[in-house]
Amino acid sequence: MATSNAAQLRQIDLDENEAPKEDHFVHLYGVTWADYERLLTIRGDRSAPRMTYLKGALEIMSPSFDHEHVRSFIGRLVEVYCVDRDIEIVPAGSWTIKRKQDERGAEPDECYLLGVRAGQKRPDLAIEVIWAHGGLDKLEVYRKLGVKEVWIWKKGKLEVFGLRGEAYRRLERSRLLPSLDLALLCRFIDRPSLNRAVRDFRAALARKK
């Protein structure tokens, strides 16, 4: 199994000069926890491909340019919002979060810790971009990992899910950043540059005061 999985990982490793037009997925089943950790080691510190593991099922995703564009713009605008409002936030990118006892592992498109805390083993907020449906239920993965809030971007909108007990519930707005208008933020993801997106987002926020 490990040899086959390693071959699959090399197969979807993109040439540096290629820019995929859509997300590419490989799904493997009957994957042991040892297989999963071995593939993480093979992949190393690169941010792609990203891997999601759920009870023997492994999803390997190589993101497209559009996927990376959307997740990066969302992340940078969230960071700008927090910095401008003096909200302490620690970005952790595609931090690999895993729990062997629950057979789950995930690598968010973006994730954050709110406040200044040392030694935390999981983010407070994970952001996922659904550009092409992958297959594994990300909320089911994050549920046992204990991530307080998950934002899922799909078709131009951000949906918020908050962990309450053993399940996620759909929320009207984030409880971690309750004053952030996510619908407003999404309006600026299509700007031709990050500079333009940040400038226009700040201007829109200033008009709301």
Of 160, 152, 155, 150, the residue nearest 181 (C-alpha):
160
The CATH number given to whatever domain includes residue 115 is 3.90.1570.10
Mean pLDDT, to the nearest integer, of 133-138? 80
- Helix/strand/coil for 36: helix
**Residue 197: what are its φ and ψ, rounded to 5°?**
-60, -45
What's the pLDDT at 11? 44
- Helix/strand/coil for 109: coil
CA pair distance 14, 72, nearest whole angstrom = 19
What's the pLDDT at 2? 44
CA pair distance 79, 26, nearest whole angstrom = 32
Tokens 């995929």 belong to: 20
Average pLDDT of the chain, as a whole number:
88
Give this prediction's pTM. 0.87
Mean pLDDT, to the nearest integer, of 67-88? 96
List pLDDT tens digits, range 160-209. Answer: 999 999 899 999 999 999 999 999 999 999 999 999 999 999 999 998 77
Mean pLDDT, to the nearest integer, of 77-106? 96
CA pair distance 162, 151, nearest whole angstrom = 9
| Total domains, the chain | 1
For 40, the domain range is: 2-208
Tokens 């993109």 belong to: 14
Q: DSSP letter at 189?
A: T
